[in-house]
Amino acid sequence: MATESNGATSTSTCVGPDGSAIGMPQLCFEWFPNQIFWLVITLVVIFFVLSRIALPRIASVLAERQGTITTDIAAAEDLKRKAEEAEAAYDKALADARAEAQSIAQKTRDEIKAELDKAMAKADAEISAKAAESEKAISDIRATAMENVEAVAKDTAEAIVSALGGKADAKAVAAAVSNRIKG
Amino acid sequence: MAADKAEGGLVFHPMDQFIIKPLFGDGAIGMFTITNITLWLFLAVVATVLLMVFGTSKRAIVPSRSQSIAELAYGFIYKMVEDVTGKDAVKYFPYIFTLFIFILMANFLALLPMSYSPTSMIAVTAVLGFGVFIVVTILGFVINGASFLSLFWVSSAPLALRPILAIIEIISYFVRPVSHSIRLAGNIMAGHAVLKVFAGFAAITAVAPLAIFGIVAIYALEVLVAFIQAYVFTILTCVYLKDALHPHH
């Protein structure tokens, strides 16, 4: 409470002669008008500075930022859509190229096969011609060999007959040998 | 302030820091005398202008540090007003923000050594608290007329209980500005007085380390209190304003 002190040396009833507070300075009534006056001035100044300058400015900055963010997000979505379109186009081009490559490969394969078939046919023909020739040669050789064997057999048979003391009838021996060879 | 603490034994003057002195001369303190409280109120204005005006002067889309602090304070209080009081109370936002930033700046400036703490003075916080009370009450009657009195008539309670509840509600309504202002002044005053008491103990060698540790700990607590009290004062203002705008429970 506001204490009634002698206050001879001090200018205030709330401060003792040694300069220390008497009671709580908070409750010193003679200081109230001063505090209230300056507080009201302070609040009015702060209020006008804030409501005229600072708060509208911050509000506009925040709104502007919100606008920028919205625009940027829209732009990002646009770009994303474009990227997706580009990806689709790329995929299509890739599929086309793959199909074309497939067809080219198929065509090449067909050509090679046709050429191969042709070459095979030619080779087959050559082989069969060669085989026929060889067969003929073999049969010739076999015929010649048969004749030779017959001649040798007749001669050998005549020689054996004469060696055994018989009289070799050339015709009979030849007939017998040819008979034997055939049978 | 407490310069004479060490002479002779232990002399604590924890309340001397709250003495109001004229800055110039030695005369009596009249209403318009420029005093230490004037200086620190002025510094609160300067700090507010530095943060809210010069800090945001670039209007950057990507904010600088000071601009993001200003925006953070703006968004914090704006959301509080919107959430607690309602969307129709946004037009009172500049007033509530003025209260918040003033208390915040005064509280934090008071944490500087050799500073003066205006928010520790009952007269200061009573002006704030009763100012809010009077404005809210007038606003309540202007907006709602006589139906503002339904704030005291708890229609959800049984009829027999309503008169008793009305008395309790009225008492609690009129105690609001007292608790509103004393909460702030009491917290700041107590914190600063405790700091001074610990500082007095620091003069004794035996307990000096403990006392200095105590100062550090209390100071850390006071940093927290400085913000929390500004926050509490503001959110209670929002709650009271909500009662004025929507008095029906």
**Phi and psi angles of residue B35, each rounded to the nearest 5 degrees, phi first:** -120, 180
The two three-digit tokens of residue A106, written as one number: 């198929």
CA B195 to CA B187: how far, in whole Å? 12
pLDDT score at A183: 66
The more confidently predicted of residues A13 and A138 is: A138
The conformational region for residue B64 under phi > 0 = left, psi -120 to 50 = alpha, else beta, is: beta
Burial of B97: CB neighbours in 10 Å, binned 0-12, 13-18, 19+:
buried
What count of residues does chain B have?
A: 249
Burial per residue of B50-69, b for 16 or more beta-carbon CB atoms within 10 angstroms, e otherwise: ebbbebbeeeeeebeebbee
Average pLDDT over residues A31-47: 93
Looking at A4-18, A56-70, A142-156, B153-167, which range is the least confident one? A4-18
Contact A12 B28 (CB under 8 A): yes
User: Which positions in chain B touch A17 (Cβ < 8 Å)?
Assistant: none
pLDDT at A181 over 50: yes
- Tell me the average pLDDT of chain B: 89
Opening angle at CA B165, ends B160 and B166, nearest 5:
105
State the pLDDT confidence band at B17, using cuts at 50, 70 and 90: confident
Least confident of A80-89, B60-69, B104-113: B60-69
What is the pLDDT at residue B6? 43
**Span B219-235, mean pLDDT?**
96
Torsions phi, psi for A15 (to 5 deg): -120, 130
Does the distance separating the beta carbons of A51 and B94 come in below 8 Å?
Answer: yes
**Mean pLDDT in residue range A155-162:** 84
Q: What letter represents residue B193's amino acid?
A: A
Cβ–Cβ contact A48 with B under 8 A: no
Secondary structure of residue B22 in the 3-state scheme? strand
What is the reported pLDDT for A18? Answer: 79
pLDDT at residue number B3: 44
Three-state DSSP class for residue B213: helix
Does residue B199 carry a pLDDT above 80?
yes
- Partner residue facing B41 (CB), from A11, A42, A57: A42
CA atoms of A34 and A28, how far apart (whole Å): 11
Q: How close does chain A come to B53, measured CA to CA in Å?
A: 5
Which residue in the block uniquely carries the two structure tokens 């015709």? A171
Name the residue type at position B2.
A
Alpha carbons A101 and A131: distance in angstroms, whole number? 44
AA letter at B200: G
pLDDT for position B9: 54
**Residues A70-91, mean pLDDT to the nearest whole number:** 96
Mutate which: A3, A24, A43, vs B, most B CBs within 10 A = A43
Average pLDDT rounded to a whole number, residues A156-165: 83
Strand partners, A21: A15
B100-152: pLDDT as tens digits: 999 999 999 999 988 999 999 999 999 999 999 999 999 999 999 888 888 88
**Residue B46 binned pLDDT confidence (cut-offs 50, 70, 90):** very high
Give the span between the Cα atoms of A161 and A179, in whole angstroms.
17
Contact in structure between A141 and A113 (CB atoms under 8 Å): no
Residues B242 and B144: their CA atoms lie apart, in Å, by 12
The domains of chain B are located at 3-245
H helix runs in B17-154, sequence order: 36-49, 65-80, 93-109, 122-144
For the segment A61-73, the average pLDDT, to the nearest whole number, is 93
Closest among B93, B54, B51 to B76, alpha carbons compared: B93
* Angstrom distance (rounded) from CA B104 to CA B109: 9
CA distance B5 to B194: 15
Q: Where are the domains of chain A?
A: 25-182
How far is residue B238's CA from residue B97's CA, in Å, rounded to a whole number?
11
CA distance B32 to chain A (A): 6
Q: What is the mean pLDDT of chain A?
A: 87
- Position B147 scores a pLDDT of 87
Neighbours of A102 (CB within 10 A): 10
